Structure 1
Amino acid sequence: MSNHEYEIPNDDDLSFEDVGPNASLREADLSDAHLEGADLSDANLSLANLSGANLKGSNLERANLSQANILGGDLSGATLLDANLSGAELSFADLSEADLKDADLSEARIRDADLSNVLLGDTNLDDIIMSRGTNIHSPNNRLKQFLNESDISKQRQYDVIARANHELREAFSENGLLNQARAARVRERSARRKEAKAEGGWKGNFDWAISRLSSAFTGYGVQIKPIVGWMILLYSLSAVVYWHWGGMGWGSSMYYSVVTFTTSPPYTPPTGLPSVVAGVETFAGTAAIVFLGYILGSRERI
């Protein structure tokens, strides 16, 4: 779109000639303006009113949008690399596909905003305000696509992904969005595991193995499904052993397995395999219950 096609309906003191790189638009009224594809790199738009404005695909690299009102604005596909959006009002705004790498969104308000498939990386999300309606999910795919086109090492790539998810986890947690915070925690730890694998050597491989075990048994301390799955598997297989090799009826074997799993065998198990399984189930069941308690506590402190 050429400058002549820009529309600024609510500020008679501005024209299309005022829109461009390094523009001085502090406190300007650009509400409902049509500035699709505009080049506003390095522009000063602090305290500007951009509510309802169309800035789709615009270049706002290094622009100063601090405390700007962009309520319901369209910034989809915009380049906001290293932009200052601190304290900006971005509620109900569309930032889908936007490049927010190195941007400062500290204290910005993004309630019910659409940040789907944005590019995050070293993005400052300190004290950001979001809601359940804020659409922001895993940054991994977009980051991987961006990083694969660079020449940085795999180890460094996973570090960038881990830090992006760390920032998201803290932002979700501060806003009480615990389910999203847990998911970000898992992505962060998964990236750190892959970073350790890429590092190689005995230390990297050891850290990778420990992280893999943490994922498999405790879901990195925040997921219930892995430990519950192991508990059900242990209980079920033990019941089958008591039934098939211990000569118990199916109902009796299930009862025996429940009691053995949660406390200790209600009576001496038959010799042979059932006796070995009862010992393993008692120990593993106690450990699983302890892990479950740890996970339930950790989930609320994420």
Structure 2
Amino acid sequence: MTDIEHSIPNDDIAPDDVCPGADLSGADFSDANLSGVDLSDAELMDTDFTNADLSGASLVETDLSDAKLWNTDLTEANLSEVNLSGANLFNSDFSGANLMIADLSHTYLSRANLSNANLWGADLSHTDLSNADLFGASLLNVDLSGVTLSRKTTIDPPEDQIEGNENKLGEEQYDQIARANHELLTAYSANGLTGRARTARVRERKARRQEALAEEGLGGTIAWFGSLLSQFFTGYGIQLRVVVGGMLLLYVTSALVYSVAGGMTPVDSLYYSIVTFTTSPPTEPTGVLMRIVAGIETFAGTVAIVFLGYVLGTRERV
């Protein structure tokens, strides 16, 4: 390491002192150029790295608790098992960084760039991720309890974070996807982002369905089929478009049958269908086909209305 390669403008520290295992707690590295530096297992508690360049640096198992890393460049850095608890990471760039099993609890990551970062097994509990970019970041086995999210926080679906062919995923991979979606569901709900919470729940249920199918047994097949029926009929109990779409299809199809087979005018067939759908046929249906369709519409309409009430009562509690 030479002075040309690295510069430390604000503290009486020689570049050669910046090495693995060094105790540099409380040092001022603001605006420093430490690109590619190796500070593995170093003590950097309460250190100031504001506006510093740590791109490509090795900070494995480093203690950076309560450090200041505002606007710090940490692109492609190796931060596996690093301790960043309580650190201020506002607007820092962690794109492509390795943060496996890192402790990021109680950190301030607002506006931080974590795109394509590997956060597998990281602790993000009670972290502020408002307006943060996590596009392409791996959130499998991540703890998101108490995390702060905003509408501008960007997070990729966990199922897109499994490498390899999706057709070859096994029970363990689907379990990881389901758990990650459950963490997101809880975090979104706690932050009032109910729309995203519902989406996360659907993804969680789909992952559990695929996990059941991957069991390759009768029990798994039955569980898979039950989950499929739940998605088809109620959208896992939270998607209005599934139930409303089915209701409209039943109503319009029945009205068409009444118009063609019963000789009704379009207006009369629509009226007959809506009354039959919600209560029972206003008049005795004529012909075998009319009777069959009216019976199905009355029964299915009652069931659909029950489903609609269930979905409306459930979706906002997600």
**Which TM-score applies when normalising by structure 2?**
0.89
In the TM superposition, what whole-angstrom CA distance separates every residue of 1:153-210 from its partner, at most 9, and x where no partner exists? 7111111111111111111111110111111101100000001111022111100000
Find runs of 4+ consecutive structure 1 residues off by over 4 angstroms: 1-4, 6-9, 13-16
Partner Cα distance (2:154, 2:2) in 1:
32
1:97 Cα deviation (Å)?
0.3
- After superposition, the Cα gap between the structure-2 partners of 1:27 and 1:13, relative to the gap in structure 1 and judged at 3 Å, is farther
2:68 maps to 49
1:140 Cα deviation (Å)?
1.2
2:53 maps to 34
- After superposition, the Cα gap between the structure-2 partners of 1:254 and 1:97, relative to the gap in structure 1 and judged at 3 Å, is same
Question: Aligned pair 1:120/2:136, yes or no?
Answer: no
- After superposition, the Cα gap between the structure-2 partners of 1:93 and 1:161, relative to the gap in structure 1 and judged at 3 Å, is same
Partner Cα distance (2:172, 2:3) in 1:
41
1:235 maps to 251
- After superposition, the Cα gap between the structure-2 partners of 1:4 and 1:44, relative to the gap in structure 1 and judged at 3 Å, is farther
Question: Aligned pair 1:277/2:275, yes or no?
Answer: no
In the TM superposition, what whole-angstrom CA distance separates every residue of 1:255-301 from its partner, at most 9, and x where no partner exists? 10011111211111113111111111011001101101111111100
- After superposition, the Cα gap between the structure-2 partners of 1:187 and 1:82, relative to the gap in structure 1 and judged at 3 Å, is same
Aligned-pair RMSD on alpha carbons?
Answer: 1.9
Given the alignment, which residue of 75, 87, 90 partners 2:109? 90
2:305 maps to 289
Question: Aligned pair 1:261/2:277, yes or no?
Answer: yes
1:228 Cα deviation (Å)?
1.2
Gaps of 5+ in 2: 20-37
Question: Aligned pair 1:78/2:77, yes or no?
Answer: no
In the TM superposition, what whole-angstrom CA distance separates every residue of 1:14-61 from its partner, at most 9, and x where no partner exists? 565255101111000101000101000000000000010000010000
Given the alignment, which residue of 129, 132, 145 partners 2:163? 145
Question: Aligned pair 1:158/2:174, yes or no?
Answer: yes
Letter in 2 for 1:60: L
SS in 2 for 1:261: helix
- After superposition, the Cα gap between the structure-2 partners of 1:287 and 1:82, relative to the gap in structure 1 and judged at 3 Å, is same
1:5 Cα deviation (Å)?
3.8
Percent of pairs identical after alignment?
49
- After superposition, the Cα gap between the structure-2 partners of 1:5 and 1:129, relative to the gap in structure 1 and judged at 3 Å, is farther
More divergent stretch after superposition (175-184 vs 14-23): 14-23
1:66 Cα deviation (Å)?
0.1
Gaps of 5+ in 1: none
1:232 Cα deviation (Å)?
0.9
Partner Cα distance (2:97, 2:74) in 1:
7
Partner Cα distance (2:126, 2:165) in 1:
27
Letter in 2 for 1:274: M
Partner Cα distance (2:246, 2:213) in 1:
26
1:66 maps to 85
SS in 1 for 2:133: coil
Partner Cα distance (1:147, 1:65) in 2:
34
Letter in 2 for 1:126: S
2:214 maps to 198
Letter in 2 for 1:112: N
Letter in 2 for 1:273: L
Bigger Rg, structure 1 or 2: 2
> How many corresponding residue pairs?
297
8 A Cα contact 1:8 1:30, kept in partner: no
Letter in 1 for 2:108: E
8 A Cα contact 1:8 1:33, kept in partner: no
2:11 maps to 12
SS in 1 for 2:214: helix
- After superposition, the Cα gap between the structure-2 partners of 1:22 and 1:261, relative to the gap in structure 1 and judged at 3 Å, is same
8 A Cα contact 1:61 1:82, kept in partner: yes
Partner Cα distance (2:3, 2:165) in 1:
33
